[in-house]
Homo-oligomer: A and B are copies of this chain.
Amino acid sequence: MPVNVLFAAREEKWEDYEQPLRHALAKAGLEADLRSQFPPDEVDYIVYAPNSWLQDFTPYTRAKAVLNLWAGVENVVGNASLRIPLARMVDEGLSQGMVEWVTGHVLRLHLGIDSHINGQDGHWRPTAPPLAKNRPVTILGLGTLGTACGQALAALGFPVTGWSRSKKSVDGMTCLYGPEGLQQALSGAEIVVLLLPHTPHTENVLNAETLAMLPKGAMVLNPGRGALVDDAALLAALDRGHIAQATLDTFRTEPLPPENPYWAHPKVTVTPHIASATRCDTAAEVIAENIRRGEAGLDFLHLVDRSAGY
């Protein structure tokens, strides 16, 4: 009897994912019936995007797990009708894309590349930037993405400090935690990268108070979650020159509305939530592996702790 797999995401995603998922399920040795519609009580697994039509899980009486297509789970984790295991997407492509975006933008800010792109005026100004070893970087968040980015930056020579709410340890980085650790992590950072999950505890983690802990001239990267930043406080800190630059990939409202002041701010670069995009091929393999594990009676990978919210 085949395993019934429901694909619950927006219609255009079905076009992107159908073939990669069929291929990955077959490759995992599964006889699966994959569809974008099913009678709810016949579904074994739900491949899920939190912005899909499926918001009431109650009728899915037989389903064994919800396999999220996104790394972020904040729009599903609090769904009271969800009573089966929820797995987040931990996709090699997702993590790798984030490492590339973070490393690229840290180096861009470190090397002052914007001044070259915008300064092709015939004047030769041969001032070399400092070396990476003299440019401390702090990463808020030591999950899969924060750890991978921190280690890539450390390999390039940056002194990297990582901060998390609870105590952690990562090779090659100075790890700090808790409220006191946050003060220390920010006060020495020339570049700060936000890679925390969005939870009630991390909302507005970058606010007037914590921005003031950063040294004057610090630069901010937010490829994490829009709600980590108090937008008004960041704009004020940019305007008074305390923060030199912000490059933001995530926002409270996406797409970021054209009238949002970030677009026109001379010290802000907006990128359109591309740092960590799920790539269909690698994501499909993660989904198929979790279905294989479920059918084999093994634990699911990447389960969400719903009490913690991530």
Contacts and interface: CB of A to CB of B under 8 A. Distances in A.
Contacts of A56: none
Nearest to A274: B128
A124 B264 contact: no
Interface residues of A, number: 53
Interface string A134-159: 00000000000000000010011100
B124 A255 contact: yes
Interface in A139-187: 152, 155-157
Contacts of A156: 99-100, 103, 152
Interface string A100-128: 11011101101101101110111111111
A258 B123 contact: yes
Interface in A254-294: 254-260, 263-264, 268-274, 277, 279
A72 interface: no
Identical chains bound together, number: 2
A104 to B, nearest CB: 3
A96 interface: yes
Nearest to A270: B120
Given A100-B131, A108-B108, A121 B272 contact: no
A137 to B, nearest CB: 13
A283 to B, nearest CB: 12
A132 interface: yes
Q: Which 6 A-B pairs have the closest CB atoms?
A: A122-B258, A104-B107, A124-B255, A128-B277, A126-B272, A128-B274
30 contacts: A96-B131, A96-B132, A97-B131, A99-B156, A100-B107, A100-B131, A100-B156, A100-B157, A104-B107, A105-B113, A107-B107, A108-B108, A108-B113, A116-B269, A116-B270, A116-B271, A120-B263, A120-B268, A120-B270, A121-B263, A122-B257, A122-B258, A122-B264, A124-B256, A126-B255, A126-B273, A127-B272, A127-B274, A128-B277, A152-B156
